[in-house]
Amino acid sequence: MKDLLKKIPQHRKGLIYISFTAFLWSTSGFFIKYLTINAFQISFYRSLIAAITILGISIFRKQKLKFEFDKVSIFAAIFYAGILILFVIATKMTTAANAIFLQFTAPIYLVVLEPLFMKTKFDTKNIITIVICICGMILFFFGKLELGNIYGNLIAICSGICFAMFSLLVKYKKIVHKNDNTLHNIVIGNALVAVIAFFIIFPELSLDLKQFFILLYMGAIQIGVSYIIFNEGIKYVSATESMIIATLEAIFNPIWVFIGIGETPSIYSIAGGIIIFGAIIWRNFSKREKTLIIE
């Protein structure tokens, strides 16, 4: 297997790694919907297992994790925890398509946040992108919506904001602090989710065997192993490529949910998702600047 991987060109290897990661990420929506336990129970077990998995693999690979507790690292871990827990809550409350599409609005907030915090240039293409994406987001609130769906959509938007803030802080640390270590943020973020969720669900900790194996997959593979693979993949591709490929998660996520439980996104959600992704792709491919959701 190692000999086969060595023969693959590095750029192609990076594309394969990130595509496979996006595929693993995309399975979360179906399992969150399928499980009958609540969002905090899912979050507790998934994140606890993910943190243990990443630590275990790092020890096995003799990869030293340097845990840092400066302000940037702490807030990065907090916002990563926000991504995880808010996405699960949103997926339980609204459709899987709405939850994932609205989470992937993160680049909208980045085009505003980067110039403010990173002192980068703010140009007219960013303004056009924001306006188009906001129009797309409005469509998610059209049609027949129950109150729970509206709250779910709003929580999904908050998840996207956390996604943007996490990305910004990681990028800031890489540029300013010359530090691209992100695994420790992922471990701490997952541990933080597990602690918060534990105090909310205690003493309701029991699981049946099927639930246990699903959560084992979600924590160990869908988050733990997938992030390690993603971390390897971004070494070989550009920032823009990694962001575009990662959007495969948003495409496949509602497909698995539709196949598994028959949940169908509304025509407004599909139209809104197309508008948002179209604007984001246009913005990134029309600029040579390398922007990234997660670095």
With respect to residue 68, please indicate whether it lies within any of the assigned structural domains.
yes
- Average pLDDT over the chain reads 83
Range of the domain at 82: 29-285
Q: pLDDT at position 122, please?
A: 65
With respect to residue 235, please indicate whether it lies within any of the assigned structural domains.
yes
pLDDT tens by residue, 49-83:
999 999 999 888 877 777 778 888 899 899 999 99
Q: pLDDT at position 59, please?
A: 86
With respect to residue 23, please indicate whether it lies within any of the assigned structural domains.
no
With respect to residue 7, please indicate whether it lies within any of the assigned structural domains.
no
With respect to residue 21, please indicate whether it lies within any of the assigned structural domains.
no
Task: Tell me which residue of 207, 249, 228, 234 sits closest to 51, measured CA to CA.
Answer: 228
Which residue reads 């907030």 in tokens? 109
With respect to residue 295, please indicate whether it lies within any of the assigned structural domains.
no
Q: Is the pTM here over 0.85, yes or no?
A: no
With respect to residue 139, please indicate whether it lies within any of the assigned structural domains.
yes
Cα dist from 88 to 82, 97, 248, 258, whole Å: 10, 13, 19, 17
Alpha-helical segments (H) within the chain = 2-7, 10-26, 28-34, 39-60, 71-93, 96-103, 106-118, 124-139, 147-176, 183-201, 209-217, 226-233, 239-246, 248-261, 267-285
Triad 170, 173, 179: Cα angle to 5°: 105
With respect to residue 291, please indicate whether it lies within any of the assigned structural domains.
no
- Phi-psi label, residue 114: left if phi above 0, alpha if psi -120 to 50, beta otherwise: alpha
Q: What is the pLDDT along the chain (295 residues), one digit of tens a residue?
A: 556 656 677 777 888 888 899 899 999 999 999 999 999 999 999 999 999 999 999 888 877 777 778 888 899 899 999 999 999 999 999 888 888 888 888 877 877 787 777 776 766 777 787 788 788 878 877 765 566 678 888 999 999 999 888 888 887 877 776 666 678 888 999 999 999 999 999 988 889 999 999 999 999 999 999 988 887 887 777 665 666 677 788 888 888 999 999 888 888 888 888 888 788 777 666 654 443 333 3
Number of domains in the chain: 1
DSSP label of 236: S
